[in-house]
Amino acid sequence: MWPGEVLEDRAGDIAVGFAALLTRQAAWRHRRVETITVLSHELVRRSVSVDFTVPAEHREDIRLSAGEWIVPLALLAKRPLAHFDLRMEDTSSVPLLRSEDTQLIGRELLYLMLDLDLEEGADARADGLIERVLATNGDDLDAIDAGLAALEERVGPVPGFVALAERLARGFLLCAVIGDVSRRRVLKFAYDEPLDRPDRVVHFYDAPGCTEAASYHAEVDVPDEMRARTTELVDNGSGAVLASGARDADRPAVYYVADSGRQLELNKPSAKSLGGRSGIRPSWYCQPRQSALNSSTMSRTTR
């Protein structure tokens, strides 16, 4: 646990560093690899590795204390983390920034983005809205969206602030505290996640991480004696298929490079690509769509 005054003193500078990192995520997160293990028709376990290098010009900004730096790894949906684990590349455990500490940085970050967007002399009077964004558990998202719209009617467009507020109202920053950012690192985290829309035949798994790194590789670990007839990475807004995995597979994989729009089929998990970039608010979010049937049913229904 870090003394409150230490983080409070550094929160403004850390927010400046986060603003730079989160608006150019693919510039420093080289690769995100994700395995979705199907535990039941209602539960999966996500195992994620993030390969990154903190740019030298932002290392001082995100320094917490001598020998400690805070790194934003991902944005996760606002729900309790079940069976969470966070480790370095050598499997040593890594401290996770507490929720209240993350909110302290998030507050500074929201004010920073609002100040950058506002015209000189404009008075946003957004204190209550910012606190509501940070405190919500998801039951008042419509009211928050209405508040953001009302703010823009009052002061004019504030796109950076609105984009960040919408993301932080629906998710939280997963922040690791590590002891060395002078070189390329790999952090690994895992957690259990319920399925929002369980189905006997088709499963949907949110995949916002496909735009949070230069390249994205996802595998679906299907239960024994079952196969995934089709596996697709889909643009949830347009319905466009961004990438497809092998048919009739027990461990189908999809590979995507966000910015360039290139789609590749990946044969080996070790294949690498360093292309693509994305902003803090992608124009879409993606999810793999899996259709899983057991082999006997599949043989009867395949034409």
Identify the domain boundary among 124, 148, 177. 177
Counting the structural domains of the chain, the total is 2
More confident call, 71 vs 256: 71
Q: What is the pLDDT of residues 141-182, one digit of tens each?
A: 999 999 999 999 999 999 999 999 999 999 999 999 999 999
- 190 is a domain residue: no
- Provide the pLDDT for residue 290: 52
Q: How many CB atoms lie within 10 A of CB 22?
A: 19
| Helix, coil or strand: residue 157 | coil
Mean pLDDT of the region 6-18:
92
Q: Minimal CA–CA distance to 110: which of 156, 161, 71?
A: 161
More confident call, 137 vs 270: 137
- Provide the pLDDT for residue 296: 26
Beta strands in the chain (DSSP E): 29-38, 43-52, 63-65, 68-77, 82-87, 171-178, 185-194, 202-204, 215-221, 226-235, 241-244, 253-256, 263-264, 286-294
pTM summary value: 0.80
Residue 267 pLDDT exceeds 70: no
pLDDT interval class at 252 (50, 70, 90): confident
Report the C-alpha gap between 150 and 168 in whole angstroms: 18
> H-helix or E-strand containing 143?
helix 141-155
pLDDT interval class at 208 (50, 70, 90): confident
Domain that holds residue 163: 1-28+52-80+95-177
Mean pLDDT of the region 5-15:
89
Mean pLDDT of the region 223-241:
82
Report the C-alpha gap between 186 and 49 in whole angstroms: 7
- Provide the pLDDT for residue 159: 94
Mean pLDDT of the region 24-38:
93
Whether residues 159 and 259 share a domain: the answer is: no
Q: What is the pLDDT of residues 84-126, one digit of tens each?
A: 999 999 999 999 999 899 999 999 999 999 999 998 878 889 9
Worst-scoring range by mean pLDDT, 153-157, 203-207, 240-244, 274-278?
274-278
Mean pLDDT of the region 240-253:
85
Type of residue numbered 208: P
Whether residues 122 and 238 share a domain: the answer is: no
Mean pLDDT of the region 274-285:
23
Report the C-alpha gap between 30 and 273 in whole angstroms: 8
In this structure, the strands spanning 63-65 and 241-244 are unpaired
Mean pLDDT of the chain: 81
- Provide the pLDDT for residue 302: 32
Identify the domain boundary among 177, 208, 237. 177
- Provide the pLDDT for residue 166: 94
Whether residues 221 and 285 share a domain: the answer is: yes
Whether residues 146 and 66 share a domain: the answer is: yes
Whether residues 147 and 7 share a domain: the answer is: yes
Q: How many CB atoms lie within 10 A of CB 177?
A: 17
Whether residues 117 and 226 share a domain: the answer is: no
Q: What percent of the chain has pLDDT over 70?
A: 82
Judge residue 192's burial from the number of C-beta atoms within 10 Å of its C-beta, 0-12 exposed, 13-18 middle, 19 or more buried: middle
Report the C-alpha gap between 206 and 186 in whole angstroms: 22
- Provide the pLDDT for residue 46: 94
